[in-house]
Every structure is written in C-alpha cells, then in structure tokens.
Amino acid sequence: MEDVHTFIKEFIKKHNLEASHIVLSESCHTVQDAANAIGAYGHEFVKNICMMGADNHLIVAIVKGEDRASTSRVAKALNIERPRLATEEEIISLTGFPLGGIPSFGFKATFLIDPNVTELNHIYTGGGSPYSLVKINVKRMIQVNGGQVVRIRK
C-alpha cells in the first residue's frame, strides 16, 4: 500500500498540483464513508467508473458521488460501441490501483468528466488505496489527466 501512496505523493509534487493526499485509518470505500471520515460533504466526492472499450482501452468516467455513469452516454461521447464495466483484475492491471482507491489521474486512460464535477472548485478522489483520498483542484485535475468534459451521468 505504501508504494501507491508514494506514487500519488510524487505525482502531485512532480505535476505541481493544487492537491493534498490524505491517508486515513479507516476505509473510505464509499462516498459516505469518506465524507464521514474527513468531515466533508458527500457532494464534494467523485467516483471513477472504469470501463473497457471494444479495443480493450481503459475509459474512466468521473462523476459526482451521488451520480451514476451512463455507458450509452460514454459511447456517444467517444463515438464508440457501448463500453462494458472493467473487471477488478483489469482495473488493477491497467491503473495499478485497487478498487476504492482509484485516483482521477496518474495512469493511461481516456478520462471523461461530467459537467456537474466542474461546478466545484475542488473534489475528493481516490488516493491510491481504500484508506486514502486526494483533495484536488478540479481545473488542475482536468489538465493533468487530459480529460474531456462531457455529460456522462444518467
């Protein structure tokens, strides 16, 4: 677990991100768990939904914690066939991070960000493990992940 946390901290520093890495003693696998653990509001959290395109390309749909990602909207945004949800093995293999800890940056993927996310100045995203989070400026997150802002929520 320390290796992913070191990677996150070094990535933040290397890219001069307006971000902070938060390591907790309890799991923050769900949005509510995370919000309770750090005393934040649920609407400040995002989920990174990993999907696979027909060409086995990783797509990450970033939506606010209370929203759900739509595979049909993702397909339309990228002009591809409807993607499927990635398996846990694919996620670990392609991102290097476990479920519940996937950040919104730091690995090769096509990142799609729902416009609801951009209404916030900062968000909380996965911090590399189910016990960590990253608080990051939304504009800098989009710059560093090369994401496209497009409606992908249901």
CB-based contacts of 59: which residues, under 8 Å, 6+ apart? 50, 51, 52, 53, 74, 78, 83, 109, 110, 112
Cβ atoms of 154 and 67 within 8 Å: the answer is yes
Listed by start position, the domains of the chain span 2-149
Mean pLDDT, each 10-residue run in order, the chain (154 residues):
84 93 81 83 92 94 95 97 96 93 95 97 93 94 96 96
Give the CA angle between residues 145, 131, 110 to the nearest 5°.
Answer: 20
pLDDT value for 130: 87
CATH number given to 2-149: 3.90.960.10
